[in-house]
Structure 1
Amino acid sequence: MPETLLVLLLALGAGVAMPAGAVFARFDRLHPAWLGSEWRHFIVAFGGGALISAIALVLVPDGVAKLPPLAAGLSFAAGGVTFFLLDILLNRLQSAAGQLVAMLSDFIPEAIALGAAFAAGENTGLLLAFLIALQNLPEGFNAFEELARSGRLSQSTILTAFFAMALLGPASALAGYYWLGQYPLVMGTLLLFASGGILYLVFDDIAPQAKLKNTWMPALGAVAGFLLGLSGSMLAG
Protein backbone atom coordinates (compact mmCIF):
# COMPACT_ATOMS: atom_id res chain seq x y z
CA MET A 1 0.00 0.00 0.00
CA PRO A 2 1.37 3.48 -0.88
CA GLU A 3 2.44 5.36 2.22
CA THR A 4 0.27 8.37 1.34
CA LEU A 5 -2.83 6.17 1.18
CA LEU A 6 -1.91 4.60 4.52
CA VAL A 7 -1.60 8.06 6.12
CA LEU A 8 -5.01 9.06 4.71
CA LEU A 9 -6.72 5.89 5.94
CA LEU A 10 -5.18 6.12 9.42
CA ALA A 11 -6.15 9.78 9.79
CA LEU A 12 -9.68 9.10 8.53
CA GLY A 13 -10.07 6.11 10.84
CA ALA A 14 -8.89 8.15 13.82
CA GLY A 15 -11.30 10.95 12.90
CA VAL A 16 -14.29 8.65 12.39
CA ALA A 17 -13.92 7.68 16.07
CA MET A 18 -15.54 11.06 16.90
CA PRO A 19 -18.87 10.42 15.15
CA ALA A 20 -18.69 6.77 16.32
CA GLY A 21 -18.60 8.02 19.90
CA ALA A 22 -21.47 10.38 19.11
CA VAL A 23 -23.58 7.53 17.69
CA PHE A 24 -22.90 5.58 20.87
CA ALA A 25 -23.99 8.60 22.94
CA ARG A 26 -27.17 9.00 20.88
CA PHE A 27 -28.07 5.38 21.59
CA ASP A 28 -27.36 6.02 25.26
CA ARG A 29 -29.77 8.97 25.27
CA LEU A 30 -32.47 6.81 23.68
CA HIS A 31 -31.88 4.05 26.26
CA PRO A 32 -30.51 5.86 29.34
CA ALA A 33 -31.00 2.94 31.73
CA TRP A 34 -28.68 0.49 29.96
CA LEU A 35 -25.36 2.25 30.69
CA GLY A 36 -25.84 3.96 34.06
CA SER A 37 -24.23 7.03 35.60
CA GLU A 38 -21.10 5.25 36.84
CA TRP A 39 -20.17 3.89 33.41
CA ARG A 40 -20.81 7.27 31.79
CA HIS A 41 -18.31 8.80 34.19
CA PHE A 42 -15.95 5.91 33.43
CA ILE A 43 -16.05 6.85 29.73
CA VAL A 44 -15.31 10.50 30.54
CA ALA A 45 -12.32 9.52 32.70
CA PHE A 46 -11.13 6.99 30.11
CA GLY A 47 -10.94 9.81 27.56
CA GLY A 48 -8.94 11.91 30.01
CA GLY A 49 -6.49 9.06 30.61
CA ALA A 50 -6.07 8.53 26.86
CA LEU A 51 -5.38 12.24 26.35
CA ILE A 52 -2.75 12.29 29.08
CA SER A 53 -1.11 9.21 27.55
CA ALA A 54 -0.92 11.00 24.18
CA ILE A 55 0.76 13.97 25.89
CA ALA A 56 3.19 11.92 27.97
CA LEU A 57 4.12 9.22 25.46
CA VAL A 58 4.06 10.94 22.06
CA LEU A 59 3.44 14.67 21.88
CA VAL A 60 5.83 15.95 24.58
CA PRO A 61 8.71 13.52 23.87
CA ASP A 62 8.57 14.21 20.13
CA GLY A 63 8.20 17.95 20.64
CA VAL A 64 11.04 18.24 23.16
CA ALA A 65 13.34 16.30 20.83
CA LYS A 66 12.86 18.96 18.14
CA LEU A 67 13.27 22.16 20.21
CA PRO A 68 15.78 23.74 22.62
CA PRO A 69 14.57 23.79 26.27
CA LEU A 70 13.47 27.44 26.40
CA ALA A 71 11.48 27.23 23.16
CA ALA A 72 9.93 23.96 24.31
CA GLY A 73 8.79 25.45 27.61
CA LEU A 74 7.39 28.58 25.96
CA SER A 75 5.49 26.52 23.37
CA PHE A 76 3.91 24.33 26.05
CA ALA A 77 2.97 27.36 28.18
CA ALA A 78 1.56 29.19 25.15
CA GLY A 79 -0.74 26.24 24.43
CA GLY A 80 -2.12 26.22 27.96
CA VAL A 81 -2.65 29.98 28.05
CA THR A 82 -4.26 30.04 24.58
CA PHE A 83 -6.77 27.32 25.49
CA PHE A 84 -7.47 29.14 28.76
CA LEU A 85 -8.31 32.35 26.87
CA LEU A 86 -10.34 30.42 24.28
CA ASP A 87 -12.30 28.76 27.08
CA ILE A 88 -13.14 32.16 28.59
CA LEU A 89 -14.22 33.53 25.19
CA LEU A 90 -16.47 30.57 24.38
CA ASN A 91 -18.01 30.72 27.85
CA ARG A 92 -18.86 34.41 27.42
CA LEU A 93 -20.32 33.79 23.98
CA GLN A 94 -22.30 30.81 25.32
CA SER A 95 -21.47 29.13 22.04
CA ALA A 96 -22.66 25.62 21.27
CA ALA A 97 -19.50 25.27 19.17
CA GLY A 98 -17.27 25.18 22.24
CA GLN A 99 -17.15 21.38 22.43
CA LEU A 100 -16.47 21.13 18.69
CA VAL A 101 -13.63 23.64 18.93
CA ALA A 102 -12.17 21.75 21.88
CA MET A 103 -12.08 18.49 19.94
CA LEU A 104 -10.55 20.06 16.85
CA SER A 105 -7.95 21.86 18.95
CA ASP A 106 -6.25 18.57 19.74
CA PHE A 107 -7.36 16.48 16.73
CA ILE A 108 -5.90 18.74 14.02
CA PRO A 109 -2.38 19.14 15.53
CA GLU A 110 -2.24 15.41 16.23
CA ALA A 111 -3.32 14.55 12.67
CA ILE A 112 -0.62 16.90 11.35
CA ALA A 113 1.90 15.15 13.61
CA LEU A 114 0.70 11.80 12.26
CA GLY A 115 1.50 12.80 8.68
CA ALA A 116 4.81 14.38 9.68
CA ALA A 117 5.86 11.22 11.55
CA PHE A 118 5.45 9.14 8.39
CA ALA A 119 7.28 11.75 6.30
CA ALA A 120 10.22 11.67 8.73
CA GLY A 121 10.30 7.87 8.76
CA GLU A 122 9.55 7.72 12.49
CA ASN A 123 7.85 4.70 14.06
CA THR A 124 5.34 6.78 16.04
CA GLY A 125 2.81 7.24 13.22
CA LEU A 126 0.81 4.08 13.89
CA LEU A 127 0.90 4.68 17.65
CA LEU A 128 -0.30 8.24 17.20
CA ALA A 129 -3.20 7.11 14.99
CA PHE A 130 -4.17 4.58 17.67
CA LEU A 131 -4.00 7.19 20.44
CA ILE A 132 -6.01 9.74 18.42
CA ALA A 133 -8.79 7.20 17.82
CA LEU A 134 -8.62 6.15 21.46
CA GLN A 135 -9.24 9.68 22.70
CA ASN A 136 -11.67 10.72 19.95
CA LEU A 137 -14.14 7.96 20.80
CA PRO A 138 -14.88 9.10 24.39
CA GLU A 139 -14.50 12.75 23.34
CA GLY A 140 -17.18 12.26 20.71
CA PHE A 141 -19.40 10.54 23.29
CA ASN A 142 -18.93 13.29 25.89
CA ALA A 143 -19.28 16.19 23.44
CA PHE A 144 -22.49 14.77 21.94
CA GLU A 145 -23.97 14.33 25.43
CA GLU A 146 -23.18 17.95 26.36
CA LEU A 147 -24.38 19.44 23.08
CA ALA A 148 -27.59 17.39 23.11
CA ARG A 149 -28.32 18.47 26.70
CA SER A 150 -27.86 22.13 25.77
CA GLY A 151 -30.69 21.89 23.24
CA ARG A 152 -29.10 24.50 20.97
CA LEU A 153 -28.49 22.02 18.15
CA SER A 154 -30.54 19.08 16.92
CA GLN A 155 -29.00 15.63 17.29
CA SER A 156 -28.84 15.13 13.53
CA THR A 157 -27.00 18.47 13.14
CA ILE A 158 -24.48 17.44 15.80
CA LEU A 159 -23.83 14.10 14.08
CA THR A 160 -23.41 15.81 10.70
CA ALA A 161 -20.90 18.22 12.23
CA PHE A 162 -18.94 15.32 13.76
CA PHE A 163 -18.74 13.48 10.43
CA ALA A 164 -17.58 16.68 8.71
CA MET A 165 -14.90 17.16 11.39
CA ALA A 166 -13.60 13.65 10.76
CA LEU A 167 -12.71 14.69 7.19
CA LEU A 168 -10.32 17.32 8.55
CA GLY A 169 -8.07 14.49 9.75
CA PRO A 170 -6.86 13.35 6.30
CA ALA A 171 -6.40 16.97 5.16
CA SER A 172 -4.32 17.77 8.25
CA ALA A 173 -2.28 14.58 7.92
CA LEU A 174 -1.43 15.40 4.30
CA ALA A 175 -0.32 18.88 5.37
CA GLY A 176 2.02 17.27 7.89
CA TYR A 177 3.26 14.68 5.41
CA TYR A 178 4.00 16.99 2.48
CA TRP A 179 4.79 20.29 4.20
CA LEU A 180 5.25 20.58 7.97
CA GLY A 181 7.30 17.39 8.22
CA GLN A 182 10.13 19.31 6.57
CA TYR A 183 10.25 21.86 9.40
CA PRO A 184 11.11 20.11 12.68
CA LEU A 185 11.13 23.36 14.69
CA VAL A 186 7.58 24.15 13.55
CA MET A 187 6.48 20.58 14.28
CA GLY A 188 8.03 20.65 17.74
CA THR A 189 6.30 23.93 18.52
CA LEU A 190 2.96 22.59 17.30
CA LEU A 191 3.24 19.36 19.31
CA LEU A 192 4.10 21.14 22.55
CA PHE A 193 1.51 23.86 21.98
CA ALA A 194 -1.14 21.15 21.55
CA SER A 195 0.16 19.36 24.65
CA GLY A 196 -0.26 22.45 26.84
CA GLY A 197 -3.75 23.04 25.51
CA ILE A 198 -4.84 19.43 25.93
CA LEU A 199 -3.54 19.31 29.50
CA TYR A 200 -5.56 22.45 30.29
CA LEU A 201 -8.70 20.85 28.82
CA VAL A 202 -8.20 17.63 30.79
CA PHE A 203 -8.12 19.38 34.15
CA ASP A 204 -10.57 22.15 33.34
CA ASP A 205 -13.28 20.09 31.66
CA ILE A 206 -12.76 16.32 31.61
CA ALA A 207 -11.48 15.59 35.12
CA PRO A 208 -14.24 17.58 36.91
CA GLN A 209 -16.91 15.79 34.84
CA ALA A 210 -15.42 12.41 35.68
CA LYS A 211 -15.81 12.87 39.45
CA LEU A 212 -18.65 10.92 41.05
CA LYS A 213 -19.14 10.57 44.81
CA ASN A 214 -18.93 7.19 46.52
CA THR A 215 -17.77 5.36 43.38
CA TRP A 216 -14.37 4.27 42.20
CA MET A 217 -14.96 3.30 38.57
CA PRO A 218 -14.30 6.77 37.06
CA ALA A 219 -10.77 6.96 38.49
CA LEU A 220 -10.16 3.43 37.24
CA GLY A 221 -11.29 4.61 33.80
CA ALA A 222 -8.47 7.17 33.72
CA VAL A 223 -5.98 4.42 34.59
CA ALA A 224 -7.43 2.19 31.86
CA GLY A 225 -7.20 4.96 29.26
CA PHE A 226 -3.56 5.66 30.07
CA LEU A 227 -2.75 1.93 30.25
CA LEU A 228 -4.12 1.36 26.75
CA GLY A 229 -1.97 4.23 25.45
CA LEU A 230 1.08 2.87 27.30
CA SER A 231 0.50 -0.60 25.84
CA GLY A 232 0.37 0.86 22.35
CA SER A 233 3.57 2.80 22.99
CA MET A 234 5.44 -0.31 24.16
CA LEU A 235 4.20 -2.34 21.19
CA ALA A 236 5.27 0.41 18.79
CA GLY A 237 8.69 0.55 20.47
Structure 2
Amino acid sequence: MLTALGWGAVAALSLTIGAVLALVRRWRTGLLGAVLAFGAGALISSVAFELAQEGLRLGGPWSVAAGLVVGALSYFLADRLVQRVGGRQGGGAGGLPLAVGALLDGIPEQAVLGIGLATGQGVSVALLVAIFVSNLPESIGSASDMRASGKSRRLVLGLWLAVTVVCALATVGGYALADAAGGSLKAAIDGFAAGALLVMLVDSMVPEAKRKAGNRAGLVTVLGFAVAAALSNLT
Protein backbone atom coordinates (compact mmCIF):
# COMPACT_ATOMS: atom_id res chain seq x y z
CA MET A 1 0.00 0.00 0.00
CA LEU A 2 2.82 2.40 0.87
CA THR A 3 4.55 1.49 -2.38
CA ALA A 4 1.40 2.38 -4.31
CA LEU A 5 1.15 5.70 -2.47
CA GLY A 6 4.80 6.46 -3.21
CA TRP A 7 4.55 5.77 -6.94
CA GLY A 8 1.21 7.57 -7.10
CA ALA A 9 2.77 10.64 -5.50
CA VAL A 10 5.65 10.55 -8.00
CA ALA A 11 3.25 10.46 -10.94
CA ALA A 12 0.92 13.14 -9.56
CA LEU A 13 3.66 15.49 -8.33
CA SER A 14 4.10 16.93 -11.82
CA LEU A 15 0.68 18.59 -11.42
CA THR A 16 2.02 20.72 -8.57
CA ILE A 17 5.38 21.24 -10.31
CA GLY A 18 3.58 22.59 -13.37
CA ALA A 19 1.51 24.97 -11.25
CA VAL A 20 4.65 26.25 -9.48
CA LEU A 21 6.41 26.77 -12.83
CA ALA A 22 3.43 28.82 -14.01
CA LEU A 23 3.53 30.96 -10.85
CA VAL A 24 7.27 31.68 -10.70
CA ARG A 25 7.62 32.96 -14.25
CA ARG A 26 5.50 34.38 -17.03
CA TRP A 27 5.23 32.00 -19.96
CA ARG A 28 5.16 33.48 -23.46
CA THR A 29 1.92 32.69 -25.25
CA GLY A 30 3.62 30.78 -28.06
CA LEU A 31 5.72 28.68 -25.67
CA LEU A 32 2.71 27.89 -23.50
CA GLY A 33 0.78 26.83 -26.59
CA ALA A 34 3.65 24.55 -27.64
CA VAL A 35 3.73 22.97 -24.17
CA LEU A 36 -0.03 22.38 -24.34
CA ALA A 37 0.30 20.88 -27.83
CA PHE A 38 3.06 18.51 -26.71
CA GLY A 39 0.94 17.41 -23.76
CA ALA A 40 -2.07 16.89 -26.02
CA GLY A 41 -0.04 14.58 -28.22
CA ALA A 42 1.17 12.64 -25.17
CA LEU A 43 -2.39 12.28 -23.90
CA ILE A 44 -3.66 11.05 -27.28
CA SER A 45 -0.95 8.39 -27.17
CA SER A 46 -1.94 7.49 -23.61
CA VAL A 47 -5.56 7.01 -24.70
CA ALA A 48 -4.53 4.78 -27.60
CA PHE A 49 -1.75 2.66 -26.11
CA GLU A 50 -2.26 2.66 -22.34
CA LEU A 51 -6.02 2.97 -21.79
CA ALA A 52 -8.13 1.78 -24.73
CA GLN A 53 -5.77 -1.02 -25.74
CA GLU A 54 -5.33 -2.29 -22.18
CA GLY A 55 -9.06 -2.01 -21.51
CA LEU A 56 -9.88 -4.12 -24.54
CA ARG A 57 -7.37 -6.73 -23.39
CA LEU A 58 -8.80 -6.87 -19.88
CA GLY A 59 -12.55 -6.74 -20.39
CA GLY A 60 -13.54 -6.41 -24.02
CA PRO A 61 -15.26 -3.67 -26.04
CA TRP A 62 -18.50 -3.38 -24.09
CA SER A 63 -16.82 -2.59 -20.78
CA VAL A 64 -14.51 -0.07 -22.44
CA ALA A 65 -17.46 1.49 -24.31
CA ALA A 66 -19.45 1.87 -21.07
CA GLY A 67 -16.48 3.53 -19.40
CA LEU A 68 -15.97 5.83 -22.38
CA VAL A 69 -19.57 7.04 -22.24
CA VAL A 70 -19.51 7.67 -18.48
CA GLY A 71 -16.11 9.37 -18.60
CA ALA A 72 -17.07 11.59 -21.52
CA LEU A 73 -20.37 12.64 -19.93
CA SER A 74 -18.69 13.23 -16.56
CA TYR A 75 -16.15 15.64 -18.04
CA PHE A 76 -18.76 17.32 -20.26
CA LEU A 77 -21.14 17.98 -17.36
CA ALA A 78 -18.38 19.02 -14.96
CA ASP A 79 -16.96 21.40 -17.58
CA ARG A 80 -20.37 22.98 -18.14
CA LEU A 81 -20.75 23.46 -14.39
CA VAL A 82 -17.31 25.11 -14.20
CA GLN A 83 -18.13 27.43 -17.09
CA ARG A 84 -21.48 28.38 -15.51
CA VAL A 85 -19.93 29.12 -12.09
CA GLY A 86 -17.09 31.06 -13.68
CA GLY A 87 -19.57 33.10 -15.71
CA ARG A 88 -21.58 33.97 -12.62
CA GLN A 89 -18.45 35.20 -10.88
CA GLY A 90 -17.68 37.47 -13.80
CA GLY A 91 -14.15 36.20 -14.34
CA GLY A 92 -14.67 33.36 -16.77
CA ALA A 93 -13.51 29.83 -16.16
CA GLY A 94 -9.86 30.92 -16.24
CA GLY A 95 -8.14 27.57 -16.78
CA LEU A 96 -10.52 25.54 -14.63
CA PRO A 97 -11.60 23.20 -17.47
CA LEU A 98 -8.03 21.89 -17.74
CA ALA A 99 -7.98 21.38 -13.96
CA VAL A 100 -11.26 19.46 -14.16
CA GLY A 101 -9.80 17.38 -16.98
CA ALA A 102 -6.64 16.65 -14.98
CA LEU A 103 -8.78 15.44 -12.08
CA LEU A 104 -11.25 13.37 -14.09
CA ASP A 105 -8.61 11.60 -16.16
CA GLY A 106 -6.00 11.56 -13.39
CA ILE A 107 -8.09 9.58 -10.89
CA PRO A 108 -8.80 6.55 -13.13
CA GLU A 109 -5.41 6.79 -14.84
CA GLN A 110 -3.58 6.53 -11.52
CA ALA A 111 -6.01 3.88 -10.32
CA VAL A 112 -4.81 1.83 -13.30
CA LEU A 113 -1.24 2.33 -12.01
CA GLY A 114 -2.27 1.01 -8.59
CA ILE A 115 -4.08 -1.98 -10.08
CA GLY A 116 -0.92 -2.91 -11.98
CA LEU A 117 1.12 -2.80 -8.77
CA ALA A 118 -1.39 -4.92 -6.84
CA THR A 119 -1.59 -7.60 -9.54
CA GLY A 120 2.15 -8.08 -9.53
CA GLN A 121 2.84 -6.41 -12.87
CA GLY A 122 5.12 -3.90 -11.18
CA VAL A 123 5.40 -0.24 -12.15
CA SER A 124 4.82 0.49 -15.83
CA VAL A 125 7.64 2.92 -16.51
CA ALA A 126 5.97 3.96 -19.76
CA LEU A 127 2.67 4.75 -18.06
CA LEU A 128 4.41 6.49 -15.17
CA VAL A 129 6.42 8.74 -17.49
CA ALA A 130 3.43 9.37 -19.76
CA ILE A 131 1.32 10.50 -16.78
CA PHE A 132 4.13 12.69 -15.45
CA VAL A 133 4.89 14.31 -18.82
CA SER A 134 1.27 14.90 -19.82
CA ASN A 135 0.40 16.38 -16.40
CA LEU A 136 2.90 19.23 -16.74
CA PRO A 137 1.29 21.07 -19.69
CA GLU A 138 -2.18 20.69 -18.20
CA SER A 139 -1.18 22.30 -14.92
CA ILE A 140 1.11 24.92 -16.48
CA GLY A 141 -1.58 25.97 -18.96
CA SER A 142 -4.37 25.95 -16.41
CA ALA A 143 -2.42 27.77 -13.68
CA SER A 144 -1.22 30.39 -16.18
CA ASP A 145 -4.78 31.05 -17.34
CA MET A 146 -6.02 31.22 -13.75
CA ARG A 147 -3.40 33.84 -12.89
CA ALA A 148 -4.25 35.79 -16.05
CA SER A 149 -7.92 35.80 -15.04
CA GLY A 150 -7.04 37.37 -11.66
CA LYS A 151 -7.04 34.38 -9.32
CA SER A 152 -4.57 34.58 -6.40
CA ARG A 153 -1.36 32.56 -6.23
CA ARG A 154 -2.57 30.92 -3.02
CA LEU A 155 -5.84 29.80 -4.64
CA VAL A 156 -4.08 28.43 -7.74
CA LEU A 157 -1.44 26.54 -5.78
CA GLY A 158 -3.99 25.25 -3.28
CA LEU A 159 -6.22 23.94 -6.07
CA TRP A 160 -3.38 22.05 -7.76
CA LEU A 161 -2.09 20.67 -4.46
CA ALA A 162 -5.58 19.31 -3.82
CA VAL A 163 -5.74 17.75 -7.30
CA THR A 164 -2.29 16.22 -6.72
CA VAL A 165 -3.31 14.67 -3.40
CA VAL A 166 -6.55 13.24 -4.80
CA CYS A 167 -4.76 11.73 -7.82
CA ALA A 168 -2.03 10.21 -5.63
CA LEU A 169 -4.66 8.65 -3.35
CA ALA A 170 -6.37 7.20 -6.44
CA THR A 171 -3.32 4.97 -6.91
CA VAL A 172 -3.91 3.56 -3.43
CA GLY A 173 -7.59 3.15 -4.30
CA GLY A 174 -6.69 1.21 -7.43
CA TYR A 175 -4.33 -0.97 -5.38
CA ALA A 176 -7.09 -1.74 -2.87
CA LEU A 177 -9.66 -2.27 -5.63
CA ALA A 178 -7.52 -4.77 -7.55
CA ASP A 179 -8.49 -7.77 -5.43
CA ALA A 180 -12.21 -7.16 -5.83
CA ALA A 181 -12.22 -5.82 -9.40
CA GLY A 182 -12.68 -8.20 -12.29
CA GLY A 183 -11.46 -7.60 -15.81
CA SER A 184 -14.66 -5.83 -16.82
CA LEU A 185 -14.41 -3.23 -14.06
CA LYS A 186 -10.74 -2.63 -14.78
CA ALA A 187 -11.59 -2.18 -18.45
CA ALA A 188 -14.37 0.28 -17.56
CA ILE A 189 -11.90 2.30 -15.44
CA ASP A 190 -9.57 2.49 -18.45
CA GLY A 191 -12.50 3.54 -20.63
CA PHE A 192 -13.59 6.23 -18.16
CA ALA A 193 -10.14 7.80 -18.21
CA ALA A 194 -10.03 7.64 -22.01
CA GLY A 195 -13.48 9.21 -22.40
CA ALA A 196 -12.75 12.10 -20.04
CA LEU A 197 -9.42 12.70 -21.76
CA LEU A 198 -10.85 12.76 -25.28
CA VAL A 199 -13.58 15.28 -24.46
CA MET A 200 -11.11 17.49 -22.56
CA LEU A 201 -8.64 17.35 -25.47
CA VAL A 202 -11.18 18.32 -28.13
CA ASP A 203 -13.07 20.91 -26.07
CA SER A 204 -10.23 22.59 -24.15
CA MET A 205 -6.62 21.56 -24.62
CA VAL A 206 -6.24 21.32 -28.41
CA PRO A 207 -8.17 24.54 -29.19
CA GLU A 208 -6.14 26.39 -26.55
CA ALA A 209 -2.87 25.03 -27.96
CA LYS A 210 -3.86 26.06 -31.49
CA ARG A 211 -4.90 29.53 -30.35
CA LYS A 212 -1.63 30.14 -28.53
CA ALA A 213 0.91 28.31 -30.70
CA GLY A 214 -0.66 28.90 -34.10
CA ASN A 215 0.32 26.65 -36.99
CA ARG A 216 3.12 25.03 -34.98
CA ALA A 217 0.60 23.34 -32.69
CA GLY A 218 0.01 20.39 -35.02
CA LEU A 219 3.71 19.62 -35.44
CA VAL A 220 4.38 19.79 -31.70
CA THR A 221 1.34 17.59 -31.02
CA VAL A 222 2.80 14.92 -33.30
CA LEU A 223 6.11 15.20 -31.44
CA GLY A 224 4.35 14.69 -28.10
CA PHE A 225 2.48 11.70 -29.51
CA ALA A 226 5.68 10.15 -30.88
CA VAL A 227 7.60 10.52 -27.61
CA ALA A 228 4.76 9.10 -25.50
CA ALA A 229 4.08 6.29 -27.99
CA ALA A 230 7.73 5.25 -27.84
CA LEU A 231 7.57 5.18 -24.03
CA SER A 232 4.29 3.25 -24.06
CA ASN A 233 5.72 0.55 -26.28
CA LEU A 234 8.92 -0.03 -24.33
CA THR A 235 9.36 -3.67 -23.48
* Aligned mate of 2:68, from 59, 62, 76: 76
Are 1:57 and 2:49 an aligned pair?
Answer: yes
Q: Relative to 1, partners in 2 of residues 1:28 and 1:220: Cα closer, same or farther, differing over 3 Å?
A: farther
Instruction: After superposition, give the CA deviation of every residue in 1:94-122 in whole Å (9 maximum; x if it has no partner).
Output: 26654432211111111111000111233
How many residue pairs get aligned? The number is 227
The whole-number CA distance in structure 2 between the counterparts of 1:181 and 1:44 is 37
The whole-number CA distance in structure 2 between the counterparts of 1:164 and 1:15 is 11
Letter in 2 for 1:170: A
CA apart distance, 1:143: 0.8
Q: Relative to 1, partners in 2 of residues 1:201 and 1:72: Cα closer, same or farther, differing over 3 Å?
A: same
* Mapping for residues 5-154 of structure 1, pairs under 5 Å: 5-29=2-26, 36-94=28-86, 98-122=97-121, 125-151=124-150, 153-154=151-152
Any conservation in 2 of the 1:63–1:192 contact (CA below 8 Å)?
yes
TM-score normalised by structure 2 residue count: 0.87
Letter in 2 for 1:131: A
> Percent identity, aligned pairs only?
28
The whole-number CA distance in structure 2 between the counterparts of 1:214 and 1:169 is 29
CA apart distance, 1:202: 0.3
Any conservation in 1 of the 2:30–2:212 contact (CA below 8 Å)?
no
Any conservation in 1 of the 2:32–2:212 contact (CA below 8 Å)?
no
Of 200-209 and 164-173, the range deviating more from structure 2: 164-173
CA apart distance, 1:39: 1.7
Of 97-106 and 114-123, the range deviating more from structure 2: 97-106
CA apart distance, 1:123: 5.7
Matched with 1:196 is 195
Letter in 1 for 2:114: G
Can you give the 5+ residue segments of structure 1 that lack an aligned partner in the other structure?
A: none
Root-mean-square deviation (CA, aligned residues, Å) is: 2.2
The whole-number CA distance in structure 1 between the counterparts of 2:34 and 2:179 is 36
The whole-number CA distance in structure 1 between the counterparts of 2:105 and 2:67 is 15
Are 1:176 and 2:168 an aligned pair?
Answer: no
